[in-house]
Chains A and B, each alone.
Chain A
Amino acid sequence: MRTVILKAGATLLTVAATALSALYVTAHLKNPAAPLQPTVLNASRGAGISAPGGTLTLGPSVQPSTEHPVTSTYAS
């Protein structure tokens, strides 16, 4: 009798775990719009600005400005 109870309990536990897992997975479908991880794979990160001769991309820590630049990266 005790053996039967143990077998039945194990079976119920297994069936319950399987059912709960199925419910959880169904409720947490993969979001196809999720961002790529790591971000390195997403080369379009940042704000891209097309300009004559090329493309400028600014990340969030670099702000554009309308001020006159005091200097530039171009040198003779």
Chain B
Amino acid sequence: MPPEPPVQAHHFEALGTNCSLFGVGLSRGRLLEGEFWVRRLGARLTRFAPDSELSRFNAEPGGWRDVGPELESLLRESLRAFETSAGLVNVAVLRSMEAVGYTRPIAEARPEATEPQPCPLPALPDVLAVRPGAARLELGAGIDLGGIAKGWMADRLRDSLGPNALANIGGDLSAGGQGPAGAGWPVGIGGATVLLREQGAATSSVRRRRWGEQHHLIDPRTGLPADTGLEEVSVVTASGVEAEVVAKAALLIGPELAPAYCAAHALAWWLSPRP
């Protein structure tokens, strides 16, 4: 039996979370390039820095603004996510995030508890339009790309790192190739280990990023932190960004419909209800 090829691993913190890159037959320098790409793009897409590309876009509503190719692609992906999730995944969530006190990275400061009032989010296509090289945001709306950016970045890294690589950007996974032993990349999901082959995986949870009675996962139907009876959903799908969308939509749908929804949209799924 031939020995398994060496796996190069690289771990780092970016986007306010933990990231890992893995590759078979890749140099450490290649993985470092991946880290720098994540950091550069993260600095442009964060809502926490006032001079980021996303913050400037949010600060200039009401007209067409030039956007870079990455932000344009992500905004298009966000519109697609809104459509495929029947509106449950809505990146026009910034005002609700601010209302619940999530205005700074949790690693820097714990958000202050607030008492937000119900305020359903606007339909994303009503407040966001995208055309080649430009996008338009309506007055009063704000964008937080959140997990969609992480899943999208994991997918881009899977494509760019090499034919046999795995990217984990803050829990959004995207795996390419056959993994170290040829059977797939072994990853943890729902307390078990599964093998990912040309697939993505993600977890949506209200158990993390909590403060007081509130958390970061907003239900667009109310504009308030979600309370559906499900506390955690993990899924495996064809890509990282798709996994992010399906996991979040399933959690927001709730325990009664989530199994059927996951059966239709996921390749594997973990559903954890509220105890």
Residues of A within 8 A of B (CB): 39-46, 49, 51-59, 61-76
Contacts and interface: CB of A to CB of B under 8 A. Distances in A.
The SS class assigned to the A binding surface is: loop
B18 A75 contact: yes
B263 A43 contact: yes
Q: Which 9 A-B pairs have the closest CB atoms?
A: A72-B188, A54-B272, A75-B171, A69-B188, A73-B203, A43-B259, A40-B264, A62-B268, A67-B186
Nearest to B22: A70
A56 B164 CA distance: 26
A53 B184 CA distance: 26
Contacts of A56: 189-192, 268-270
27 contacts: A43-B259, A53-B232, A53-B275, A54-B271, A56-B190, A57-B259, A57-B262, A57-B269, A58-B194, A59-B267, A62-B195, A62-B199, A63-B183, A64-B194, A68-B186, A68-B193, A70-B187, A71-B22, A71-B173, A71-B187, A72-B168, A72-B171, A72-B188, A73-B201, A73-B203, A74-B171, A75-B208
A57 to B, nearest CB: 5
B149 to A, nearest CB: 14
Given A40-B263, A57-B268, A73 B194 contact: no
A54 B273 contact: yes
Contacts of A69: 186-188, 193
B22 A63 contact: no
A66 B202 CA distance: 20
Contacts of B22: 70-71
Contact of B170 (A42, A53, A75): A75
Nearest to B200: A73
A25 B3 CA distance: 61
A69 B181 CA distance: 13
Interface in B239-275: 259-260, 262-264, 266-273, 275
B166 interface: yes
Contacts of A46: 263, 268
Interface in B1-49: 7, 9, 17-18, 20, 22
